[in-house]
Amino acid sequence: MKVLFICVENSCRSQIAEGFARQLGLDAESAGVKAGSGVNPGALKVMAEIGIDISAQFSKAIDQEKLTKYDAVISMCSVKTADFCPSTFIGTQANWNIEDPKGQELEVFRRVRDEIKSKVEELAKAEVAR
Q: Is pLDDT of 81 > 80?
A: no
Q: What is the mean pLDDT of the chain?
A: 89
Q: Which pLDDT tens digit goes with each residue over 22-42?
A: 999 999 999 998 898 999 999
Domains defined for the chain, CATH in brackets: 2-129 (3.40.50.2300)
CA end-to-end span of the chain, whole Å?
10
**Active-site residue identified among 26, 77, 98, 120:** 77
Outline where DSSP puts E strands in the chain: 2-7, 27-32, 72-75, 92-95
Amino acid, res. 32? G
Q: Residue type at 91?
A: G
- Establish whether 77 is a catalytic residue: yes
pLDDT, greater one: 128 or 22: 22
Residue 12 is a catalytic residue: no
49 has pLDDT over 60: yes
Check whether 89 has a pLDDT greater than 90. Answer: no
pTM for this predicted structure: 0.91
Active site residue 7: yes
Q: Which is the catalytic residue, given 12, 85, 112, 124?
A: 85
Instruction: Give the confidence band of 66 by pLDDT, cuts at 50, 70, 90.
Output: confident
Catalytic residue among 4, 6, 7, 44: 7
CA distance 4 to 14: 8
- Asked whether 36 and 10 are in contact (CB, 8 A), the reply is yes
| Band of pLDDT at residue 84, cut at 50, 70 and 90 | low
